[in-house]
Structure 1
Amino acid sequence: MTGLPDWMRPPREEGWFAEDLDRLPEAPRHTELIDGALIFMMSPQRSWHGRLVTTLTTTLMAQVPAGFEVEREMTIRLDARNRPEPDLLLTDLSYDPDRTWYAPEAVKLVVEVVSPESAHRDRIVKLRKYAEAGIPHYWRIENEDGAPAVHVFELEEPAGAYAPAGIFRGTLRRPVPFEISLDLDKLTPPRRS
């Protein structure tokens, strides 16, 4: 492990723990912890992804009822070895400017926008981990020829796993976690030829 900056060396033989993320100011922005391994979002973000997350954030903020907050790019401390950073989350906690993470019981919805480098984590790993942590709603947004397709999942509590609740294109209307109505075609600008 020569040639690595000191901050990249695990602080103990067992590797990284969730609280270690708060002590890594040199780490790249958007660093996650998955199964004790640091995951760096090092590839360049695509414009489609950034625009979609920004527009979805502002659209949900305009619809969110009192008692809920929309947060962008904040980690969730699922357990001692897992602290993923979804693109967006909905919480029932009040705004705290010093907060660096959320507990899963405070998170009502997680949204992941799939990128080529995050596809496996978003489709498989995080789907399972968020369900096991008891987060009631998960949306995975895929890019279908420049248009968003939202794969919606709801937690089936007895099984502790997500059940598919639909794939939405064009329009998304959901009664949970609050009354949501989205024109999906307006979340990203149309492609120009």
Structure 2
Amino acid sequence: MAQPTFGGRRPDRSWREQDLLDLPEDGNRYELIDGSLHVTPPAGPDHHELADDIRMALRQAAPDGWRVIREIGVRVPGGNLIPDVTVLKPGAPRDRMWAQPTDVALVVEVESPNSRRHDRFTKPALYAEAAIPAYWRVERGDFGPVVYRYELAKGLHYDLLGTFGPDDPVEVTEPWPMRLDPSTWPR
């Protein structure tokens, strides 16, 4: 895929948040990491369906004031990322295109072949650096979705809390106590 252009050409400096506004709305996901533009092709219907079901499960269990949003931008040190699902704390501004990390309680990334490395390595490091308290990574296993739950440790990195899948309905505490059952999510 060709590098997107800025006003008909690539910028002669690092990419900035403002530059994202000039990119086409073509279904690609445009994210900034340390001044570099990262482009991810549109995910398939199965990816979106799984992310929607996770979002709905979180929304149905959400206490008053909490918001669960699909594909809202989140500012992180040195960039801007777009998680598949973001849980915003009560009182988070509603009119922002990019959420501040202090307003975010949980980010969820649903892996796809085009996002695997970023979802496993790059994004967790940036979310941890931004001090986002919880991160979930969701893989499609042979028997259905598997959720890897992480919590921020020492404000530096994520520690694995555990995993659960379609045979493991589980009680979680982040971002609030709730029961999740991945057997109801698409395989």
TM interval, shorter chain, is: 0.7 to 0.9
TM-score by length of 2: 0.87
Equivalent residues of 2:4, 2:23 under 8 A apart: no
Residue 158 of structure 2 corresponds to which residue in structure 1?
A: 162
1:7-86 mapped onto 2 (5 Å cutoff): 7=7, 9-11=9-11, 13-21=12-20, 23-29=21-27, 30-42=29-41, 44-79=42-77, 81-86=78-83
Shift of 1:146: 5.1
Shift of 1:67: 2.3
Task: Give the number of aligned pairs.
Answer: 182
SS, match of residue 20 in structure 1: helix
Residue 148 of structure 1 corresponds to which residue in structure 2?
A: 145
Question: Against the structure 1 CA distance between its residues 8 and 65, is the aligned structure 2 distance closer, same or farther, given a 3 Å change threshold?
Answer: farther
Equivalent residues of 2:74, 2:99 under 8 A apart: yes
Q: Deviations over 1:87-114 (max 9, x none)?
A: 0010114462x42110111100000000
Q: Which runs of 5+ in 1 are unaligned?
A: none
TM-score by length of 1: 0.85
Question: Against the structure 1 CA distance between its residues 176 and 4, is the aligned structure 2 distance closer, same or farther, given a 3 Å change threshold?
Answer: closer
Cα distance between partner residues in 1 of 2:88 and 2:120:
22
Deviating 4+ runs (over 6 angstroms): none
Equivalent residues of 2:152, 2:158 under 8 A apart: yes
Identity %: 33
The CA RMSD measured in Å over matched residues stands at 2.2
Greater mean alpha carbon deviation, residues 59-68 or residues 115-124: 59-68
Question: Against the structure 1 CA distance between its residues 6 and 129, is the aligned structure 2 distance closer, same or farther, given a 3 Å change threshold?
Answer: closer
SS, match of residue 7 in structure 2: helix
Residue 104 of structure 1 corresponds to which residue in structure 2?
A: 101
